[in-house]
Amino acid sequence: MTNDWVDIKNADVILVMGGNPAEAHPCGFKWVIEAKVKKKARLVVVDPRFTRTASVADLYAPIRPGTDIAFLGGVIRFLLAGDKIHLDYVKAYTNAPFLINPSCVFEDGLFTGYDGEKRRYDKSTWIYQTDKDGYARVDPTLSDPNCVFQRMKKHYERYTPEMVERVCGTPKDKFLKVCELVASTGVPHRTMTSLYALGWTQHSVGSQNIRSIAMIQLLLGNMGMSGGGVNALRGHSNIQGLTDLGLLSNSLPGYLTLPNDDDEQLKTYLERRTLKPLRPGQLSYWSNYPKFFVSLMKSWYGAAATKENDFAYSYLPKVDAPYDVLRVVELMSQGKVNGYVCQGFNALASFPDKPKVAAGLARLKYLVVIDPLATETSEFWQSYGEFNDVDPAKIETEVFRLPSSCFAEEDGALVSSARWLQWHWKAAEPPGEAKGDPEIVGELFSRIRQLYAKDGGAFADPILKLTWSYRITSSPHPEELAREYNGQALADVPDPKQPGAFLARAGEQLATFAVLQADGTTACGCWIFAGCYTPAGNQMARRDNADPSGLGIFPAWSWAWPANRRILYNRASCDPHGTPYDPSRKLIWWNGQKWVGNDVPDFKVDSAPAEGMDPFIMNAEGVARLWAPAMAEGPFPEHYEPFDTPLPKNPFGKALNNPAARVFPGDAKAFGKPDEFPCVATTYRLTEHFHFWTKHARIPAVLQPQAFVELSEGLARKKGLKSGDLVVVKSKRGSLKAKALVTRRLPTLVIEGKEVEVVGLPIHWGFTGQTKKGFLTNTLTPPVGDANIQTPEYKAFLVSVEKA
C-alpha cells in the first residue's frame, strides 16, 4: 500500500476493483465503512461477481474477468476527453510534458520493436527526447504531439464507453456512472483510494492493470494524498516483508537486484543501477544504489568483502533468466531440477496446472518440506483416489517433512500491507519436536558448511565466508537477525557537514539508511529496513497508539518502512510551493526552513520549493510516469485478451494475447478454446478460509466444509442444474468435481453480442485437512504468467460445466 489501512477513512471515493476486501480483508475493510459512515464516502465496486464488498457499495458494475485494462482505459479516456483531471498536478508531478522519441509508435495493437519469435520487444526506441546535456526534453504546455500527454490521449481514444460495453460486458450507463464518481476526485480537496488484490495481479496483463490505476490516480492528483493512493491489499501476513527482503528469484533485499550474466564487473553492475537524474535538479534516490549494495555485501561477507575483491561481488549468483516458479516447474518437468526445498509453501496447491506440477515433483530426486501442517505438497506421492491419482511405487522422490513452529511459537516481525513492521512475541513452545524456521535453516546451513569445510566442493568460498556470528551457531535468534538487517556501523562514519562529528560510531546500530556508505564502513542487510532496530532499541515493538493528527497516522505504533513514513510520495500532497492541496488533511508542508508535518516527509527535508526538486524522488525523472518504458509489453497499458479467451479476436487490435508474455513451447497446447470450454472461470477466497491452510483448523472447516462452484441462474437453466448438484468442471488442463451453488451473484454477460457465463471457483479445499476432501482448484488453471513478473493467470480462464 502507498497509504495504510486506517487512512482509508480519509477517502471521499473508494474504488474496489480486483479485490473483495469485505471477504478477504474484513478487519481492514472496516475503515471503508468508517469512511462511508463518517465522511459520506462513496464506495464503487467493479467485479465479475456481486461480492460481499459489492453488497455494501453505493455503485456496483459487473465486468468480464480479464478486461480491466479495457475498463480502466475507458476511464482514462473519459478523464482526458472531458478535462476532468487535476491539471496542475499532472503538469508538475507527472511525465505528461516529457517528449517521447517520435519513432516509438503504436500500431495494430503493438508498439515499435516487437519480435514475434522471441515474444519480446526491442525497447531501444522507447526513450525520451534528450537535450545536449542528456536531460529529457519537455513541453510544459502539453501541446507537442509527441509529449506523453498527447500520446496518451491518442492511445486511449479507442477506449470508448461503447467499446467498454462490448469487451467488458459492463452496461454503458453503469460504466459512465463509475467514471463520474472517479472523476469527482480530480480536484485538490477530494481524493479517491484504490483498493485491489489478486483480482488485478493474477492475469497475463497483471502489472499493466496496476499501471492503469496508477495513471488514473496521477491524472486525478490522488497520489501522495491522505485518503488516496494505490493500495495493494496483500494476501499473506508477511508477503510484503518477504518481497521487501527480496526472496524472489532475481531479487536482493530492499529491491536491489541480482546481477545478470552481462554484469561481469561490479563497476558495470552498479553503473546500470545507479540512475542519474533525467531532469536538472532532481534527486534520483537510486543514485545511492552503491551504498545500499556495498552495505549488503558487508553484512553478508564482513571482512571477506573488501574494496580489492569488489566487496565479494563474484560470490553472488548471476541470472540469465527469471527463475520464477513457472520456470522451475518447467525445469522440473524436463528433469533439470533435482531438489526442492519448500518452506511453508504448498506448491502443489498454489502453482497453476496441477497435473504439470505433480508430474514435475515426481521427477525430483529429493523434496524437503518445512511446514507446521501436513500439506498436499508433502503428500504429492500418496494416492488419494480421484483427488490425487498417483502410484507411489512409481515415484522415486525422497521426501522429508520437517515440523516448524507457527506464529504463536516464535518472536519476530511481520510486515503488513501498510508496510508496518510489527514485532510479535513467542507465547508457547511448538508441539512435539517442531523447531522454528531460523533454527531449521540455520542448522541445515551449518551442516552444509561443515561438509564444505571438511571435504571442499564447488565454489566453497561464499559458503565458508558467510558472516555467521550468532550466539548459538545452529540457531540464529530473531533479535540477532533483526539487528543484522537493520545494520550497523563497522567504523566511525564522519558527518560531512560537521567536521569532528559522526553520523554513527563503530559498532552502533544504524538509525537511518541515510548513514549508509559505499566504502565498506557500514553493514546493512536490508537498507529499507534501516531504522527498525536502532540504538534506542527495537522500533518494531513500539505500541503507542496515539494519533496526534487524527489522520490515522500512528507514528509511534510499530515502525513503517521506509524511515517510518506512513504515506508514500507525501510531498505530492502539497502544491509546488509547499502548501498542502487540502488544508483539512495536511500530511507535510514547507515551514520556510524545511519540510515538516504529521508524517515523515518523503523528500529531501531541506530542499526549498524554489529549488524545483520534484516529489517522486525514486524516479530519475523526479516525477511519476504516465508513460513507463520499463514495462515488458509497452509503455502504455493496452487491452489484451486472457490466454484462455472466449473471443476469436481482440476487438482493440491485432494481437490477441499479451505479446510479451512467456509461453513455454510445451505449453502452447495448454490453452482452451471457447467451442470446447465456453464459460469464463475465475478463482477467489472465502472469508472463512485462508488458502489451503485453515482447512486444517476445526472451526473454519466446519463453516465451509466442502468444495463448491458458483454458477449463474442462466447457466444453471441451460445445463439443468440446481444448487447441491455435483458438477464436473473441465479446462484444457484437467477437471474437478464440486457441488453447484446457483446464485444471482454471477451475471450472464453479453460480450460482442454473445452471452458469456462466468463461473466462480473458491480455492480452499484439498486432500489433507479436516474439511471434506476435494480437488485442488489449480487443476484447472493455465500455466502462463504476467509478462513482467510471471504471476499466473488464475483470474480468467475457460472451463466447461456439466452435471456429474
Partner 1 sequence: MNVTRRGFLKLTASGIGATSVAALGFSHRRALADVRLFKLTQTSETRNTCPYCSVGCGVIVYGLGDRAKNARTNIVHLEGDPDHPVNRGTLCPKGASLLDFVNSPSRLRFPEYRAPGTSEWKRVSWEFAFDRIARLMKEDRDRNFVAKNAKGQTVNRWTSTAFLAASASSNEAGYIFQKVVRALGGVCFDNQARV
Residues between 194 and 213 that touch partner 1 (CB under 8 A): none
Torsion over CA: 704, 709, 712, 714 (sign) = negative
User: Which of residues 109, 235, 612, 651 is near partner 1 by CB under 8 A?
Assistant: 235
**Cβ closest to partner 1, residue 188 vs residue 462:** 462
Length reported for the chain: 804
Q: Does 381 bind partner 1 (CB under 8 A)?
A: yes
User: Which of residues 105, 142, 563, 703 is near partner 1 by CB under 8 A?
Assistant: 703
Q: Does 399 bind partner 1 (CB under 8 A)?
A: yes
Q: Pick the stretch among 75-83, 140-148, 411-419, 491-499 that binds partner 1 (CB under 8 A).
A: 411-419
Q: Pick the stretch among 54-62, 99-107, 372-380, 626-634 that binds partner 1 (CB under 8 A).
A: 372-380
Q: Does 726 bind partner 1 (CB under 8 A)?
A: no
Angstrom CA distances, 643 to 41, 275, 550, 801, stand at 37, 36, 47, 19
Q: Pick the stretch among 42-50, 101-109, 397-405, 716-724 that binds partner 1 (CB under 8 A).
A: 397-405
Q: Does 237 bind partner 1 (CB under 8 A)?
A: yes
The x, y and z cell numbers of residue 256, run together, are 536491489
What is the spatial distance between Cα 753 and Cα 757, in angstroms, rounded to a whole number? 13
Residues within window 21-40 making contact with partner 1, judged by CB under 8 A:
24-28, 30-31
Q: How many residues bind partner 1 (CB under 8 A)?
A: 165
**Cβ closest to partner 1, residue 397 vs residue 512:** 397
Residues within window 345-364 making contact with partner 1, judged by CB under 8 A:
345, 347, 350-352
**Cβ closest to partner 1, residue 469 vs residue 498:** 469
Q: Does 618 bind partner 1 (CB under 8 A)?
A: no
User: Which of residues 73, 442, 520, 659 is near partner 1 by CB under 8 A?
Assistant: 442
Q: Does 324 bind partner 1 (CB under 8 A)?
A: yes
3-state SS of 438-497? Answer: HHHHHHHHHHHHHHHHHHCCCCCHHHHCCCCCCCCCCCCCHHHHHHHHHCEECCCEECCC
**Smallest separation (angstroms) from partner 1 to the CB of 331:** 7
Residue 704: which of 744, 739, 743 has the closest Cα? 739
Q: Does 789 bind partner 1 (CB under 8 A)?
A: yes
Angstrom CA distances, 577 to 96, 186, 228, 616, stand at 20, 20, 21, 16
Per DSSP, the residues of 637-686 read ----B-SS-S-SS-TT-S--B-TT----GGGGGG---TTT--EEEEEE--
8 Å CB contact between 349 and 302:
no
Q: Pick the stretch among 274-282, 427-435, 621-629, 729-737 that binds partner 1 (CB under 8 A).
A: 427-435
61 DSSP β-pair partners? 46
Q: Does 343 bind partner 1 (CB under 8 A)?
A: yes
CB count within 10 Å of CB 707 equals 22
The DSSP call for residue 752 is T
Q: Pick the stretch among 61-69, 208-216, 419-427, 714-722 that binds partner 1 (CB under 8 A).
A: 419-427
The x, y and z cell numbers of residue 381, run together, are 506421492
Torsions phi, psi for 291 (to 5 deg)? -65, -45
Q: What angle do CA 669, 675, 676 make, to 5 degrees?
A: 60
User: Which of residues 693, 765, 775, 797 is near partner 1 by CB under 8 A?
Assistant: 693
3-state secondary structure of 212: helix
Residue 525: which of 314, 307, 342, 305 has the closest Cα? 305
Half-sphere exposure of 418 (CA within 13 A, CB side): 22
Q: Does 469 bind partner 1 (CB under 8 A)?
A: no
**Cβ closest to partner 1, residue 158 vs residue 424:** 424
CB count within 10 Å of CB 302 equals 18
**Cβ closest to partner 1, residue 457 vs residue 648:** 457
User: Which of residues 250, 287, 288, 512 is near partner 1 by CB under 8 A?
Assistant: 250
Residues within window 479-508 making contact with partner 1, judged by CB under 8 A:
481-482, 484-485
What is the spatial distance between Cα 272 and Cα 265, in angstroms, rounded to a whole number? 11
Q: Does 261 bind partner 1 (CB under 8 A)?
A: yes
**Smallest separation (angstroms) from partner 1 to the CB of 483:** 10
Torsion over CA: 55, 59, 63, 68 (sign) = negative
User: Which of residues 227, 700, 762, 766 is near partner 1 by CB under 8 A?
Assistant: 700
Buried b (16+ CB within 10 A) or exposed e, 489-523: bbeebeeeeeeeeebbeeebbbbbbebbbbebbbb
**Cβ closest to partner 1, residue 168 vs residue 245:** 245
Q: Which residues contact 273 (CB under 8 A, 6 or more apart)?
A: 256, 257, 286, 289, 293
Residues within window 274-303 making contact with partner 1, judged by CB under 8 A:
300
3-state secondary structure of 415: strand
**Cβ closest to partner 1, residue 326 vs residue 709:** 326
User: Which of residues 118, 267, 447, 505 is near partner 1 by CB under 8 A?
Assistant: 447
Side chain identity at residue 585, one-letter code = R
User: Which of residues 227, 229, 783, 792 is near partner 1 by CB under 8 A?
Assistant: 792
Q: Does 550 bind partner 1 (CB under 8 A)?
A: no
**Cβ closest to partner 1, residue 324 vs residue 638:** 324
Side chain identity at residue 641, one-letter code = E
Q: Does 168 bind partner 1 (CB under 8 A)?
A: no
**Cβ closest to partner 1, residue 331 vs residue 608:** 331
Q: Pick the stretch among 87-95, 153-161, 460-468, 492-500 that binds partner 1 (CB under 8 A).
A: 460-468
Q: Does 548 bind partner 1 (CB under 8 A)?
A: no
**Smallest separation (angstroms) from partner 1 to the CB of 459:** 6
Q: Does 323 bind partner 1 (CB under 8 A)?
A: yes
Q: Pick the stretch among 46-54, 218-226, 726-734, 782-790 that binds partner 1 (CB under 8 A).
A: 782-790
Q: Does 683 bind partner 1 (CB under 8 A)?
A: no
Residues within window 300-319 making contact with partner 1, judged by CB under 8 A:
300, 314-319
**Cβ closest to partner 1, residue 461 vs residue 519:** 461
Angstrom CA distances, 649 to 179, 202, 412, 641, stand at 27, 22, 51, 8
